[in-house]
Amino acid sequence: MNFIINALIELLSVQLIKVRGRSMEPAIRENSWVISFRAGFRRRGPRRFDVVRLEDPRTSGHWILKRIVGLPDEEVALRNGELFVNGESVADPFAYCPDPERDNFEWWPRNDEYIVLGDNRSASTDSRKFGPVKRSALRGRINS
C-alpha cells in the first residue's frame, strides 16, 4: 500500500518544463521539454549525475537545470577541466566543452550541500559561480 501511495504522490508531482538556455546541451537541448518530478527525492536522495531543477541562488524566481557532481561531505574539484572527488578522478560522461585553462575549482560541501554544474560548461552559470547549493534548493528531479 505504501508503494502505491508513494507512486501516486510522484505521479501527481509531475511538471512539464520548457528548457531555456544551452547550459545542459547536448544532453538536454534548448527549447526541448523535460519532465520534472517535484517529489523526485522522496524515495531516494539526490545522486551524483542526477539532473535537478533548482532556484538560481543569485536570482529569486529564476529556475535552472543543473547536474549534481558533488555530494555532501565530499571534497570536489575541477582540475584542468577534469572532475575529482575525494582526490580520485571521476569519469564525467556528461561534461561538454570543459575549459582546462579556467576550470580549476575546489569545493567542500557540508552535510546538506551539493555541487552542481551544467553539462555545457562554456555556457553554464553553476557552482563555479555561486558555490554549493543547499538540499532544500533542489526542487525537482529531471527525467529528460
3-state SS assignment for residue 87: coil
To the query of whether residue 129 is one of the catalytic residues in this protein, the response is no
As a whole number of angstroms, the distance between CA 61 and CA 11 comes to 24
As a whole number of angstroms, the distance between CA 113 and CA 91 comes to 21
To the query of whether residue 18 is one of the catalytic residues in this protein, the response is no
Query: Per this entry, what is the length of the chain?
Result: 144
As a whole number of angstroms, the distance between CA 67 and CA 95 comes to 10
Residue of 36, 66, 124, 127 marked active site: 66
Residue of 23, 36, 124, 127 marked active site: 23
Active centre residues (catalytic): 23, 66
